[in-house]
Amino acid sequence: MTLADPRVTLRGARLDFRPVTPDDAAYVLRLRSDPAHTAHLSPVTGTVADQAAWIERCKDREAAGEEVYHLIQRKDGAPCGLVRLYDIRAETFTWGSWILDATKPAKAALDSAVMVYDWGFTRLGLARAVFAVDRANTRVLAFHDRFGATRTGADARDIHYVYDRDRFLADRPGFRRVLGADP
């Protein structure tokens, strides 16, 4: 895959997003089944064919404007992760199913998060992201706290967050500088 790949829908400083397709089912299943990456995500079972069918249903939700599922890839086109935007509503979206594999470049978490917010706030024009993180996922909790998301509550399993478009737009130039990209 080259940088001219028409399937690339968003370019970041170090990563690109492209839509997940049924052809990605083996990679998705391998990544979503790897305990090293999924301890804090919903479990996935089944076969590659089951995963391809799930991706097809995801495409239906995407066509309805309810969800977007991205394959995260390095600039050389190799896949290195996944992320979904879902529960897309008039003003809000949720994001999760965020996995970055061992082949990710440096600062991939920051770049992919900036790209998620660019998608939700700029492309979709939404006002805020609302999401939850497993209490035991201390690295991701610390990431969102440093990023500037606001904790809004908690339940037995999760810490709940909100992150507003205005905050992102104010913080985005600094994130881009850290990534070595034009603000």
Q: Hey, what amino acid is at 106?
A: A
d(CA 26, CA 126): 32
Where residue 39 falls among pLDDT bands split at 50, 70, 90?
low
Enclosing domain of residue 37:
10-178
Q: Can you tell me the distance from the alpha carbon of 104 to that of 110, in angstroms, rounded to the nearest whole number?
A: 12
Mean pLDDT of the chain: 91
Separation between Cα atoms, residue 178 and residue 110, nearest integer Å:
9
pLDDT score, position 2: 33
Question: Against a cut of 0.95, is the pTM above it?
Answer: no
The residue type at 46: G
4 in a structural domain = no
Is residue 127 included in any domain, yes or no?
A: yes
What CATH number is associated with residue 146?
Answer: 3.40.630.30
Q: What is the share, in percent, of the chain residues with pLDDT greater than 70? A: 92
Q: Is residue 5 part of a domain?
A: no
Confidence of residue 40 (pLDDT cuts 50, 70, 90): low
Closest CA relative to residue 82, chosen from 94, 100, 95, 68: 100
Convert the pLDDT of each residue in 49-89 to its tens digit.
999 999 999 999 998 999 999 999 999 999 999 999 999 99
Domain-embedded: residue 58: yes
The structural domain count of the chain equals 1
